Structure 1
Amino acid sequence: MTMTAEVQIPPEQVVPGVHPRWERPGLLALLAGTAALYLWGLGSGGWANSYYAAAAQAGTQDWKAWLFGSFDAGNAITVDKPPAALWAMALSGRVFGFNEFTMLLPQALMGVAAVAVLFGTVRRTSGPAAGLIAGAVLALTPVAALMFRYNNPDALLVLLLVVAAYCMVRATQQGSMRWVALSGGAVGFAFLTKMLQAFLVVPALSLVFLVAAPMGFWKRVGALLVALVSAVVSAGWYIALVSLWPTDARPYIAGSSDNSLLQLAFGYNGVDRIVGRGQPGGGAGPGGPGGGGANLFFGGDPGVGRLFGASMGAEASWLLPAALLGLVAVLWLTRRAARTDMVRAATLMWGTWLLVTGAVFSFMDGTIHPYYTVALAPAIAALVGISSVELWHRRHHPAARAVLALSLVGTGGWAFVLLGRNPDWWPVLRWSVLIASVVVAAVLAFGVQRLGRSAEAVLVAAALLAGGAGSAGWALATVADGNSGGPMAVSGPATQQHEFGPGGHTGRPGGPGTRVDDTALAELVTGLDNRWAAATVGSMMAGDLELKSGASIMSIGGFAGGDNSPTLQQFQDYVAAGDVRYFIAGERFGPGGHRDGSGTQITEWVQQHFATLDVGGTTVYDLSRPLR
């Protein structure tokens, strides 16, 4: 039988409602293992990103702060992302009491849910074995183990995008308008999580339905218009709410130039991220490509090799070569399949997801961090699961065996390179992965056709272990060693985090790795009944102080101190009304901080008009004591 014939009559059809005896125990083991991994020691690394932690805490103290994603309970300014991820963390804090564990609990559960939904999505097209492989690869991707235990919005983003893919697969199988609309709704809500990044999967979702849905062409086009309307409604209600709410009765939209959510979406969180305009770490920013630095905090220099480079390589690229090879192989195998063939359709969807998102991440010149690659993890995992099973079904054909062997050797070799970048960490794993992958690949290529069923099962287990050990080891190290916190999270063992994470050699002096002993400051502001117990420029000190004291601290200028909010006149009015008690001095701007906002004017005015205190070595101005 030729490979082409096998494509036309697949060796294993996915029959709805039919489940092998091992499927349910396998799924339960996968989800239980994922939950154990993501919940183990959750919160032991502290508040993770104090910027989002402070906003989540504010949401537990004030419902308006919860609704708008305000950085502070006094509602001066929001964080620089929409609030959907904060809603979950703040609600968890309201129900269970706010601490590090309860804040991160929704993130970990989102990770388990993402693995479950990915399993279900891949199973519908390629069977339970492919689904289990895909789920395990996602769970053990280092950047996934990092971000599903972290408080950045990426956890909810990934879950919603995988849900959108599941809905679109069902829509494509059934020609269902309802599932198309649900897919669009998931993408729209993902916009309320991380704005335009949610739309990077739209080409993939549209392509699979347009190519493979069992209906006429114009009906397919019409159905995609329904998805568009659903996405607009899902995101638009909140955009309308923010736009119609009086600006003087809500917090300023951080990161925007005109206090607008749409401007934030298409400016700071949109085009500016692509071209690097006004972005820290971008082409003209400090440490960016134009600055001549290593730019490791911001993903490395743009180009084809960025995803494999020193900054991003260890996050999600462990199985990226295998996924790309599998994408090509399955598309070739299914080249003569019917238009509605779901194996090819799913491969097109996940492949387009991977290529489009990967290309944007590779070449964007604005702010990008290594952990963004978590958005690639579902596509990589799905392609590995689908291609592994499809090729294994054709293992009696020499070409299929050769591709499987090449994929395994490539994965082992690339893991050897990645582990070699940190040679002092468990060197035995590096060599074990390389040797095992070569040996198992040799058996796959030259001996599998002579093996019995039991020996084949052993070979499959050995191949999965050899192919996944590098990524799994790095993910386990991420969980075991925790993360030092800050906005620049990286995966891997503690030595890797110290090198590339907050306070490492890629950090900025006085930047995100810098922390002051703010115990005395916390004692000063605790218990004050002012709308804001204190104000300071930028978010770094403000976030830490909010979390330590529970007080509302105004972050002048937002995250990096560059927003023109509040204006000098607004701040003077707040002081005159007694809304702000203290001003904490110091150039503690956020990462990539700058002085383009109102912070410099406010600082100069305060210095000229108010008495100073020395609080634990920090200069503090008492705004209730003007100079005479």
Structure 2
Amino acid sequence: MAVAETASVRRAVRGEGIVLGAILLLALVLWGWAPAGHTLQPYYVAAVHSMSQNVSTFFFGGFDPAGVVTVDKPPLAFWTQTVGVWAFGFHPWVIAGVQALEGAGTVLALNRVVRRWAGPYPALLAAALYALTPIVTAVGRDNLPDTLLVLLLVLGAYFLTRAIEETSTRWLVLAGVFAGLGFLTKMLVAWIVLPAFTVAYFVGAEESRGRRLAKIGLAGLVTLAVSLSWPVVVSVWPGAKPFVGSTTDGSVWQLVFGYNGLTRLFGGGEGISGAYGSAIGADLGGVPGPLRLVNAELGGQIAWLLPLALAALVVAAFRARGATRRVRAGWTLWGGWLLVGAAVFSFTGGIFHGYYTALLAPAIAALAAAGLTTAWRWHREGGRARFVLPVAVAGTALTAYVLLDRTPSWLPWLRYTVLALAALAVISALVREHRARVVAVIAGLAAIVAGPAAYAVETAARPITVLEAGDPTAGPAGTAVLGSVRTLVPAKDSSDIETAFLRFVDDATRLGPGQAQILDYARAQAPAARITMAVEGGSYGADPFLLHTDARVAPLGGYLGFDPAPTVMQLRQWVDSAQLRFVLLPQAYVDLGRRMKGAQPASGGAGDNGTAAIGQRIGWLMKSCVPVPPQRIGPDAAGSGVLFDCARR
């Protein structure tokens, strides 16, 4: 008997491994497959290229090899991508591969933590539901920090679960370490999970209240120490360092609490935060409110299983009295993660992107999987609780129908198919016979995953623009268009300017023949200059040079050009000390300059939303430097921007 049981266990474990392997393979295909090309956010790709060339640039998260400005996030996510570049050489596919592996790591980690809490079947289902979440596919195919952020926080949840099981200080401290590493990936948003971590350990650990509080306090101190380690070093660094991007004063604390902190939560803000918020709009995810996560902008990204997850959490709360401490802790962990995250994202009044909701996906997947498997167990046991499963399937299918009905021209048959599958599942579930139950399981799962899976496949198959790479969106609905140019040019009808700006952005991944000739000319004329050429136009102006060459090209103004880095005084100093001779004004900005007609403020400062920095630089350039005739540069230079020679003043 023992031998037979051992063999049965081995077969079950082997089968579980095969299913998990298939889920991981599916995830890697969704995130790595690129039939229409794999467009990444060029801003961060260029930064990784720069970081791979210089240790100082690597540590500070510098955007450019000349060390002018950093990216607008802490560097941990880009450190991992840079390590991949060091190992395999610089290519966007290397960065995409790192991202896909991090996403697969999240699938595996989620499976492990849910398995310890709820068992093997909920763990496999949670892994599959997470992999098929549409916004997870969109983010997994991009190079944003969110992929690593979610991995680190799910690993933190795993260590927390171990700490609860074993009443272990070591595991709890490790959970704090990984929450801190999440902060070094995307700052304050990583702390969304801390209330859930805290309450889950307090609810689940079997030790005295005083010991629980002491351990929670210790883990909190560790989280704080890890979180602040890099900002503190940057803040006290005594030597030369890049200007901290997306700030007005180069302070890393302004980046933490301003641009990446409170202004994202509450909106408003001046300086860079105000400029960036005006440029992209503070409501890309729709108007803040209790129904934001199910609105037209976000519903198709994250809301497919949200009602199911919330319903499972409510049912678990009513039945918590009979559960073990460990089971209650699991519901508390994932429920707290979801509720706090949903509240933050629903009511955030500042800069908000729909892809932020990928942070909710592990909690939704874990709760939905545990809820479905619990409902299935109740269905098999009989009694009144057996009706929970048909209701759960029907409710989830109705949610999918509503979301699919928002894009009626895309796969119009799918929403009716989902309803038909759900009806088949419900009818089969009410027939208490083995074959009918099998049909109920297959049809029910198909009804639940058909909608999000179709969105995920659509996301993996369609091409995206450079602009969309900065704001990834899943499914057929597309993404919001950034109206950055409207903050720069006061025009009643800016459609022509907007078209030119969008073309300029989409060209950011390509180095045209004219641009190459301009760079070659600058190199030949000023071979000893510390900075071969400076480029106006934010990251999109400098990206082609930083992506395709190792030249020391300096971007002016950071990401969107709003940063006061360098100032006009610094530009003068660079020119006077022969560190810089040439400045390129891209053609799109030449066109913008002609339309500005002196509309920019004369002096910089926080109150002008950062746009004065651009106007000051362009104004100085026009007055202090001389345009180089394009025929002197090369046959293709015309139309690739205007190169200014600042040595000929």
> How much does 1:524 deviate?
1.5
> How much does 1:128 deviate?
0.6
The residue type equivalent to 2:566 in the other structure is: P
For 1:407 and 1:500, the matched residues in 2 are separated by 33
Moved more, 200-209 or 434-443: 434-443
> How much does 1:609 deviate?
1.4
Per the alignment, residue 410 of structure 2 pairs with 425
Q: RMSD between aligned alpha carbons?
A: 2.8
- Tell me if 1:489 matches 2:504: no
Q: How does 1:45-444 map to 2 (within 5 A)?
A: 45-46=38-39, 48-246=40-238, 249-278=240-269, 285=278, 288=281, 295=283, 298-338=284-324, 340=325, 342-395=326-379, 396-444=381-429
| CA distances 1:18-66 after superposition (whole Å, capped 9, x unpaired) | 96452222222222222232222289233x1111111011112222111
The residue type equivalent to 2:551 in the other structure is: A
- Secondary structure of the equivalent of 2:73? coil
C-alpha change, 1:509 and 1:369, in structure 2 (3 Å) is farther
For 2:280 and 2:241, the matched residues in 1 are separated by 35
The residue type equivalent to 1:456 in the other structure is: R
For 2:411 and 2:113, the matched residues in 1 are separated by 35
The residue type equivalent to 1:305 in the other structure is: L
- Secondary structure of the equivalent of 2:70? coil
For 2:138 and 2:198, the matched residues in 1 are separated by 30
The residue type equivalent to 2:61 in the other structure is: G
For 1:595 and 1:346, the matched residues in 2 are separated by 46
- Secondary structure of the equivalent of 2:578? coil
Q: Which structure has greater helix proportion?
A: 2
> Which residue of 517, 521, 526 corresponds with 1:523?
517
For the Cα contact (< 8 Å) 1:583–1:621, is it kept in 2? yes
The residue type equivalent to 2:349 in the other structure is: D
- Secondary structure of the equivalent of 1:123? helix
Per the alignment, residue 4 of structure 1 pairs with none
> How much does 1:326 deviate?
1.1
> How much does 1:509 deviate?
5.5
For 1:75 and 1:281, the matched residues in 2 are separated by 25
Moved more, 223-232 or 329-338: 329-338
For the Cα contact (< 8 Å) 1:314–1:491, is it kept in 2? no
Q: Give the total of aligned pairs.
A: 592
| CA distances 1:430-486 after superposition (whole Å, capped 9, x unpaired) | 211122113212333x22xx222x543342222111101100111011111143233
C-alpha change, 1:80 and 1:599, in structure 2 (3 Å) is same
| Identity between Structure 1 and Structure 2 (%) | 34
Per the alignment, residue 620 of structure 1 pairs with 642
> How much does 1:286 deviate?
5.4
For 2:502 and 2:205, the matched residues in 1 are separated by 48
- Secondary structure of the equivalent of 2:555? strand
- Tell me if 1:30 matches 2:12: no
For 1:18 and 1:196, the matched residues in 2 are separated by 44
For the Cα contact (< 8 Å) 1:168–1:179, is it kept in 2? yes
Moved more, 173-182 or 22-31: 22-31
Structure 2: gaps spanning 5 or more residues: 1-8, 487-494, 593-607, 631-636
Per the alignment, residue 292 of structure 1 pairs with none
For 1:169 and 1:550, the matched residues in 2 are separated by 46
C-alpha change, 1:233 and 1:503, in structure 2 (3 Å) is closer
For 1:45 and 1:327, the matched residues in 2 are separated by 38
For the Cα contact (< 8 Å) 2:534–2:582, is it kept in 1? yes
- Secondary structure of the equivalent of 1:574? helix
- Secondary structure of the equivalent of 1:489? coil
> How much does 1:282 deviate?
9.8
Per the alignment, residue 489 of structure 2 pairs with none
Per the alignment, residue 560 of structure 2 pairs with 560
| CA distances 1:163-206 after superposition (whole Å, capped 9, x unpaired) | 11111111111111001000000010110100000000000110
C-alpha change, 1:421 and 1:108, in structure 2 (3 Å) is same
Normalised TM-score (structure 2): 0.85
| CA distances 1:103-129 after superposition (whole Å, capped 9, x unpaired) | 111110000000000000000011010
For 1:71 and 1:399, the matched residues in 2 are separated by 61
The residue type equivalent to 1:556 in the other structure is: L
| CA distances 1:544-567 after superposition (whole Å, capped 9, x unpaired) | 342244434322221122222222
Per the alignment, residue 490 of structure 2 pairs with none
For 1:509 and 1:594, the matched residues in 2 are separated by 23
> Which residue of 434, 437, 443 corresponds with 1:462?
443
For the Cα contact (< 8 Å) 1:69–1:78, is it kept in 2? yes
C-alpha change, 1:281 and 1:142, in structure 2 (3 Å) is farther
- Tell me if 1:538 matches 2:524: no
C-alpha change, 1:432 and 1:503, in structure 2 (3 Å) is farther
For the Cα contact (< 8 Å) 2:137–2:456, is it kept in 1? yes
For 2:423 and 2:368, the matched residues in 1 are separated by 18
The residue type equivalent to 1:251 in the other structure is: P
The residue type equivalent to 1:174 in the other structure is: E
| CA distances 1:515-571 after superposition (whole Å, capped 9, x unpaired) | 376611233225835443222142222223422444343222211222222222112
For the Cα contact (< 8 Å) 1:42–1:104, is it kept in 2? no
Normalised TM-score (structure 1): 0.88
The residue type equivalent to 2:34 in the other structure is: G
For 1:575 and 1:541, the matched residues in 2 are separated by 20
Moved more, 115-124 or 26-35: 26-35
- Secondary structure of the equivalent of 1:626? coil
Structure 1: gaps spanning 5 or more residues: 1-15, 290-294
- Secondary structure of the equivalent of 1:598? helix
Per the alignment, residue 9 of structure 1 pairs with none
C-alpha change, 1:560 and 1:575, in structure 2 (3 Å) is same
The residue type equivalent to 1:490 in the other structure is: P
For 1:607 and 1:109, the matched residues in 2 are separated by 48
For 1:574 and 1:281, the matched residues in 2 are separated by 29
For 1:568 and 1:231, the matched residues in 2 are separated by 40
| CA distances 1:86-117 after superposition (whole Å, capped 9, x unpaired) | 11111211211111101111110000000000
> How much does 1:77 deviate?
0.3
The residue type equivalent to 1:609 in the other structure is: S
> How much does 1:214 deviate?
0.8
- Tell me if 1:473 matches 2:473: no
- Secondary structure of the equivalent of 1:554? strand
The residue type equivalent to 1:368 in the other structure is: F
